[in-house]
Amino acid sequence: MKNQAQLSDKDKQFRDFSLHDNMWRVVLYVGFPLALYQSLTQLFKIFDSMMAAHISATAVSTVAYLSQINLMLSALGGGLAVGASIKISEAYGSGDFQLVKKRVSTLFAMCAILGLTLLVVLVPFTPQFLRLAKTPEEFIAGGTQYFILELFGMVISFFNNVYIAIERARGNSKRILNLNMVVIGLKLALTALFVYVLNCGINMISVATIISQTFLLAAACKNLNQKDNAFGFSLAAISLKPEVTRPMIALSIPVIVEKVAFSFGKVIVNSMSTIYTPLTVGALGISNNIGGFTTMPQNGFQEGGSAIISQNLGAGEPKRALKAFQCVLVIDAAIGVFFMTLSLVFIRQISWLFAGSDEEFLQMIASIYRYEALGAVPLGINAAVLSLLYGFGKTRLTLVINFCRVFLFRIPVLWFLQNFTDLGSISVGIVMGISNILTGAAASLICIWEIRKICKEYQITFF
């Protein structure tokens, strides 16, 4: 390349801030807007469910079920963005700005290849794929077109996830928040128009998603159109050489497998839940959405924390990296306590938003969530541990944690309850509580083991 990649003054200031300022300030500065963004994203999912419920109870269950399959596929792009952005943050922290530009540009190219491949393979065979995922026939009949539209929206989100990961590495959390507030507002306005005014079905809910995600993609194209900037996209900077792609792919593959396996496990749980009634799937999906009000802000600090940790590690500051983890741990645990308490106090009122006058559906949602809420603090601990493991590039361990969460702590327990008890639909709530608590415990044990190894390797102390 003829021109050397450079940092803007703003990027230089943030790098200095991340590597030298008070760590509590750094974590809050980066993490709070991300936590708010994640919360708003969860809120729009809640409103989506409410609007789908306005169509019919079957519609909300269809959306809940197919959303889990969509999340499984989205994990491909999301995992690539997470793993690759760790290496981008590391190069940013170490001061290798030419490598930053190569990784940014190459990551977008990899997303394009992945997205086109999925569309070519899945769009012509959507009904067959949904049957392979054990989707009930009534959901396939009413949701095939919806799922195809969701696939196109998902590919757009691949690029948007990469863009968000890059802005996160640059410390532009406020930009992420502001852009997504516009996206969410546009999405909600369009969905409300289609459902309440035009009386459309669930397909138009997906169209609203595509339109709003396209807006974010346009903003990404504008903000990354900086040829000489290290974080700008350039065709000339795309490099498929192993020294550029291998580190990103090596970290991304465990994350992709982890996210796909986790989402696939949730699809299995949904499929197992249909042994009760199709509405149980809808109630479980709504319970998961309510629980997201706690876990999504925790995930915001997790994502911000992993970026800070990898930047400081790249700059040769492992002690500050551990300090960032400590801050994230305290914040995520506090978020768990606060939102668990708040949601349990008002669970009946929250459930009414989705069930309306359907008292049976309302009671089902509330009873499932009361058990799921018990995992709020353990999942906060888990999120903090994941930020540590992502930041230090130990993505194979994050794969172990999330694989155990679903395939050891969740599916076998649900199978046992279904075959050896007569608890009924409440079983799915009990399973969520058990798996979330055990996940937090497993993450804690792995965290203690890894921190001891890190301290020994870098000759530092944790406190």
Question: Tens of pLDDT along 250-270?
Answer: 888 888 888 888 877 877 887
Q: Which of 266, 195, 200 is nearest to 50 (CA)?
A: 195
Cβ contact 195:54 at 8 Å: yes
Query: In the numeric block, which tokens belong to residue 207?
Result: 């169209």
Question: At residue 403, does pLDDT exceed 50?
Answer: yes
Residues with Cβ within 8 Å of residue 257, at least 6 apart in sequence = 79, 399
CA-angle at 325, arms to 319 and 328, nearest 5°? 145
What pLDDT score does 183 carry? 87
Question: At residue 288, does pLDDT exceed 70?
Answer: yes
Please, what's the b/e burial string for 190-214 (b: 16 or more CB within 10 A of its CB; e: otherwise)?
Answer: bbeebbeeeebbbbbbbbbbbebbb
Provide mean pLDDT across the span 414-436.
93
Q: How confident is the model at residue 1 (pLDDT cuts 50, 70, 90)?
A: very low
Provide mean pLDDT across the span 382-389.
96
Cβ contact 214:179 at 8 Å: no
Q: Which of 413, 388, 373, 220 is nearest to 320 (CA)?
A: 388
Question: At residue 280, does pLDDT exceed 50?
Answer: yes
What pLDDT score does 4 carry? 65
pTM score, two decimals? Answer: 0.83
Question: At residue 3, does pLDDT exceed 60?
Answer: no
Question: At residue 343, does pLDDT exceed 90?
Answer: yes
Question: At residue 49, does pLDDT exceed 70?
Answer: no
Q: Give the tens place of pLDDT for each residue, 170-216.
A: 888 888 888 888 888 898 889 889 888 888 877 888 898 899 999 99
Coil, strand, or helix at residue 276?
Answer: coil
Q: Which of 161, 169, 164, 171 is nearest to 80 (CA)?
A: 161
Q: Give the tens place of pLDDT for each residue, 124-151.
A: 888 888 888 777 777 787 778 888 888 8
Q: What is the DSSP letter of 229?
A: B
Q: How many CA atoms lie within 13 A of 432 on its CB side?
A: 30
Chain-centroid distance, C-alpha 113: 21
What pLDDT score does 57 carry? 65
